[in-house]
Amino acid sequence: MSEHTQTAESGTLPGRYEWVVEPAPMEVPTDPEWNRFSDTIRSFSASPGASYARQDGIGTPDAKDHNRGTEDPSASIGYDWQRFPVDGSGNPVGAEAYGILRDEYNQLLASLLAVERTEVPGGNDGAGMRVYSVVRGAKVNTVNPTNDPSNENPILMELEFQPTKVRSYAIHQPSAGTTLELTSTADTDTMDVTIESEGASTTETISLDGTTAVTTTESFDDIDVVWLADQPEGDVTVTDGSGTTLLEIAGGLTYSDDDQPVDGDQGIPALGAGSHADPIGTNYEHFVGDRVERPVGSPVRPRVQTASWTVENDLSTNSVHVSRLPTIDESDRTVTIEADVAGPKVSHDSMMESLQKEQQDYEHEVGGGIVRFKNTVVQESGERQREASGQAVSSISETFAASGDPAIELEATN
């Protein structure tokens, strides 16, 4: 088959999108119980954020080299909002809760581990590939649902993450059941390696023996997980023992610009006795019919055309000398609502409320509960505009900003 006729990456290929809470930032949970973001994913993106600087020297106009610095990884996901962020006891159940709530120390509740898997035909053995995005140490920077009654689809919930590390892996699937051979390019790599098939129905933990090849006892019909217990210094290769490469995992020396290993990769986290997520199976949230009030008991404006809200955490990244991975620390939380509204005197009301600092609670009640924005003010009032023609409705755009401790509350009602 010619290369240009091979199937290209796309959003129509089968995929799996899951997340789980990390016990501590960058710590992979044992036997994870994976969660779905939603039963319908609309978008996903991830990048490792490699950074390069040009190295110059006297005597030449050309770069002598390009050297790597601290990575700036990123990830985001958009999905149809299906599950309220917390349960009836206020415990987080949706990924968006980890970008809305803070703990008693005003820190985000946890960092998340997210894994995306796409099934692609072809592969080195002709049996397809599984291409993975492994997003580790991810803190939710922004939570942003789009609330637009003109949209027939459910509310689009979008999360932007600040990960600590993003890596991609491609596992070429074996065409038949086979034992697997593992080796490293560094003699020092002697850690355990866990290999699992789909759902961990076949699993084996084998001890890597540096540059000496080791072979599994189990035969694998498919491969879903290869997880190294530690960061390798050399590159680790998994083959079928007959010359077909099924997976390559880069070691710390590969990421180094000298002879000091830096942040070797570990692969796809093991399922163990955990489980992948079942479909959520509940109704999606739609904006039409939602209660949107400010103050509580009164409509925000006579006509609310859109009322999207955003929770943004001021995440700061910094470089450290022991790693190319950034540190991530949270600061301020900013809670705002962007609304397009209309009515007999909405421009007057917006202007005067802004000038007079009128503070009112703002509530958005969806099917699963109430999102309450405390002490909102009209931070940016709508601009009054008149047009000579073509202006059946003069709508305005205004921004409400919340404050308090906390400025946002979540109350599950179902």
Q: How far is CA 277 from CA 32, 39, 346, in A?
A: 10, 10, 46
pLDDT tens profile 249-275? 999 999 988 888 889 999 999 999 999
Q: Are strands 214-215 and 165-172 parallel, antiparallel or unpaired?
A: unpaired
Structure tokens at 162: 């600040």
Per cent of the chain over pLDDT 90 is 91
Is the pLDDT at 1 greater than 60, yes or no? no
Q: What is the pLDDT of residues 370-407, one digit of tens each?
A: 999 999 999 999 899 899 899 899 999 999 999 999 99
Checking DSSP bridges between strand 396-401 and strand 369-380, what pairing results, if any?
Answer: antiparallel
Looking at every residue in the chain, the average pLDDT score rounds to: 96
- Residues 197, 190: Cα–Cα separation, whole Å: 22
**Separation CA 388–CA 117 (nearest Å):** 54
CB 124, CB 113: distance < 8 Å: no
Residue 191: pLDDT band with limits 50, 70, 90:
very high
Give the pLDDT confidence score for residue 10 in this predicted structure.
Answer: 85
Q: Is the peptide bond before 279 cis (omega within 30 degrees of 0)?
A: no
pLDDT at 5: 76
User: Residue 200: which pLDDT band, with cuts at 50, 70 and 90?
Assistant: very high
Residue 2 has pLDDT above 70, yes or no: no
CA distance 217 to 109: 41
Q: Each residue of 277-291: pLDDT tens digit?
A: 999 999 999 999 999
On whether the CB atoms of residues 253 and 217 are closer than 8 A, the answer is no
Average pLDDT rounded to a whole number, residues 196-209: 98
Q: Hey, where are the domains in the chain?
A: 291-412
pTM > 0.85: yes or no: yes
Cα separation, 82 vs 70, whole angstroms: 36
Mean pLDDT of the region 9-17: 92
347 sits in which H/E element: helix 346-355
pLDDT tens string 294-328: 999 999 999 999 999 999 999 999 989 888 899 99
349-377 pLDDT per residue, tens: 999 999 999 999 999 999 999 999 999 99
pLDDT at 24 over 70: yes
pLDDT, tens digit, for every residue of 118-159?
A: 999 999 999 999 999 999 999 999 999 999 999 999 999 999
